[in-house]
Every structure is written in C-alpha cells, then in structure tokens.
Structure 1
Amino acid sequence: MPELIVPTARLHAAWLEARKEWGPGVHEDGFGLRPSDEVDSPDGFAAWVARLAEETDPAKAAQAGRTRCTYRWIVEGGRVLGGIALRHESNDFVLRVGHIGYGVRPSARRRGLATWALGRMLDEARVLGLDRVLIVCEVDNLASAKTIERHGGVLEDVRDAAHSTVRRYWIKIGEPRM
C-alpha cells in the first residue's frame, strides 16, 4: 500500500531513482524543486529536504519570505513514486501555479495514485480552513485533468502561462469524504 510521508533525507537514493526516470528538468511541481537546489550529493539533498520542512513551519516560512507549503512524498516499498504539495496561501504566486501541485513517476502512473494523494491533500486543505483550492495542469495533460475533475474540480479557464497553456480548476472544499 502506498503512503504519504514527510520528505526525508533517508530516501535520497530512492528519490534520485525517481528523478532519473522523469529525466532532467524541474517539471514535477509536487516536489518543490527549484533550479538552485543541488540534490545529487547527500549534503545538498539534506539541505533541500530541510528547506521543504522550513516551508511547512509558519514562522520559518514567513521569516524566509516564502509561501507556506506542506510537502508529501508518495512512497511504497521504499520507492518514491511521486510528490504532492499544498500551498497554504492565496497570493500572486499561488494564483499562477495553484494551491496543489503533484506528479507521479511514469512507471507508477495509471494506478490512481494521483487521485488518492489529491484526496488526502484536500483533507489537509480542509483542516487548514481553506474553502477552495486552485489546481493548474498543462492543457494536454488529460490524465491530470481527469484526476482534478474526479475531486469536483470546475474548469475556470484555459490560459497561456509562462512556457505553456494551462487549464485552471477550482475545487470547493466541503465536508470530509467517507
């Protein structure tokens, strides 16, 4: 059974394996990876994981001038299958990229992991008191669009973003799902 866990430096090798499968580039939003993050060395990876933990802490995120965010990794049998992030605020950055971003490695797709993880993060959003969340996906990513729609996502529009065209969905946070 997969589980959502807090990012940890002990999964360095497993995370690198997942990244290798995706290929080069910072394209998986659920990991919070930035171009300046050096994740190949154990020390660089540990520093990145520490930054992710700081962004979850309200005081540390505010002190660093960052959007508060909860990161979770989708893990099964010691393998990193994907990542998901929940941004807690509704600022200009979030209105561009969404409250929730996620990615599942290619070999783990078509198992419902994104739908499952998104459901768990919507529960987190409810606990935080968010009444609705924005989720953005590439216009041609039909699997992600279906995942969002399964959770009640309502398409706001399709628009040009920095380097692509995206669909923008809003999900109203209601009562917990049984």
Structure 2
Amino acid sequence: MSILITPRNALRSTFLEAVREFRGEGRGGASDDTLLGHQISVWRDRWADEAGFDEYVRFLIADARPETPRPQGMVPATTLWFVDGETWLGRLSIRHRLTPRLMEWGGTIGYDVRPSARNRGHGRAMLRAALPHAWGLGFDPVLVTCDADNVASRKVIEASGGVFEDRRGEKLRYWIPTSPS
C-alpha cells in the first residue's frame, strides 16, 4: 500500500535510484528551475554517503518550521515522500503560504513521481493524500499549477478535484478543495 510519510534515511537506496531516473530525463541541470531540480543540483554529491543523506533528510524536516533560516523569497514547506513499503515513488511539498511568485508559478502543492512509477495512479493518490495535510495547515482550497504541455499532471490535478482558473504564461492554475466532505 502506498502512503505519504515524513522523509527518512531508510529510503536512501530507492531514493537514489529515483534520482538517477530523474537525471536520466535531464532533471537537475542548469535549466531545471523546479524544486526537485534545485535539490538534485545542490545535494547530489552529498547524497553519496549516509551522513550527507541524513543531513538532507534533516534539512527537509526542518524546512517545515517557520523559524528555520531560508533564502529570501522561500517559504516554510512540509515535504512528504510517497512510498510503497521501502520503495520511494515520489515527493510532494506543501508550501505554508503563497508569495506573489507562488501564486503565479508554483502554487501551494508541488509534486514529482519517479519516472519508472508514472502512469500507475501514484500522482493522483499522492495529491489526494496531501489534501488533509493542506487542510491542517489552514488551506481551503489549494492552488496547484502545471505546465500547459504537461498532460499527465493536468489529468492528476483534474482527477483530484482541481477546478481550472486560468492560464498565466506557460502555467495552468487549478484550485482544489481540501475541506473534508
């Protein structure tokens, strides 16, 4: 059974397998301005050893705390990993507030499914499972964006209750209710 969990060191090997898959499709390069791309660029050399990976996991967990120092323009975010047993399938971030840039580009929730796990319903399951977490942070509804040409992500968002608002540049913007019904 696949579930969202707090990041943990025990998943290092399957996390690193997923990162190799992401890198194989060009993620983490200079032109990748996504959160995952940035993390691959900054952390990939440190993930090679257990101490570096532990530092990364502690960084992710600390990022949810408002008092944690962060670069200007970055907001606290809860990162959750989507796993099936000990297999890392994807990641999801719930940003604790929206800046003007996030209102246009990033939204409240961002997610990635590892390439070998795509087209199996994991994105939809992960996004739906995150909605109660977002509700607990005071969001109702949440803003989720995707690239206009990302048909798979658009289908995930719409299947999770996303209501299309508009297109801004290359991004499609959807609102998803989080309140329990």
TM-score range, shorter chain: 0.7 to 0.9
What are the within-5 Å matches in structure 2 for residues 5-154 of structure 1? Answer: 5-23=5-23, 24-26=26-28, 29=35, 33=39, 35-38=41-44, 39-60=47-68, 63-64=69-70, 66-95=74-103, 96-154=105-163
Residue 19 of structure 1 deviates from its aligned partner by 1.1
What one-letter code is carried by the residue in structure 2 that aligns with 1:136? T
Residue 128 of structure 1 deviates from its aligned partner by 1.4
Residue 29 of structure 1 deviates from its aligned partner by 4.4
What one-letter code is carried by the residue in structure 1 that aligns with 2:16? L
Residue 64 of structure 1 deviates from its aligned partner by 3.4
Query: Could you say what the CA RMSD is over the residues aligned between the two structures, in angstroms?
Result: 2.2
Q: Matched residues in 1 for 2:38 and 2:90: separation? A: 12
Partner secondary structure for residue 88 of structure 2: strand
Q: 1:30 to 1:133 in 2, by over 3 A?
A: farther
Q: Matched residues in 1 for 2:153 and 2:172: separation? A: 10
- The alignment's TM-score, normalised by the length of structure 1, stands at 0.84
Query: Percent of aligned positions with the same letter in both sequences?
Result: 36
Residue 124 of structure 1 deviates from its aligned partner by 0.8
What one-letter code is carried by the residue in structure 2 that aligns with 1:166? K
Deviates more, 1:135-144 or 1:43-52: 43-52
Partner secondary structure for residue 56 of structure 1: coil
Residue 30 of structure 1 deviates from its aligned partner by 6.4
The runs of 5 or more residues in structure 2 that have no matched partner are none
What one-letter code is carried by the residue in structure 1 that aligns with 2:67? A
Q: Is the 8 A contact 1:2 1:76 kept in 2?
A: yes
Deviation track 1:46-95 (CA, whole Å, cap 9, x = no partner) reads 222111111112322xx435411111111113111111111110113422
The runs of 5 or more residues in structure 1 that have no matched partner are none
Q: 1:151 to 1:84 in 2, by over 3 A?
A: same
Partner secondary structure for residue 90 of structure 2: strand
Deviation track 1:13-69 (CA, whole Å, cap 9, x = no partner) reads 110101112224236646972632243333332222111111112322xx4354111
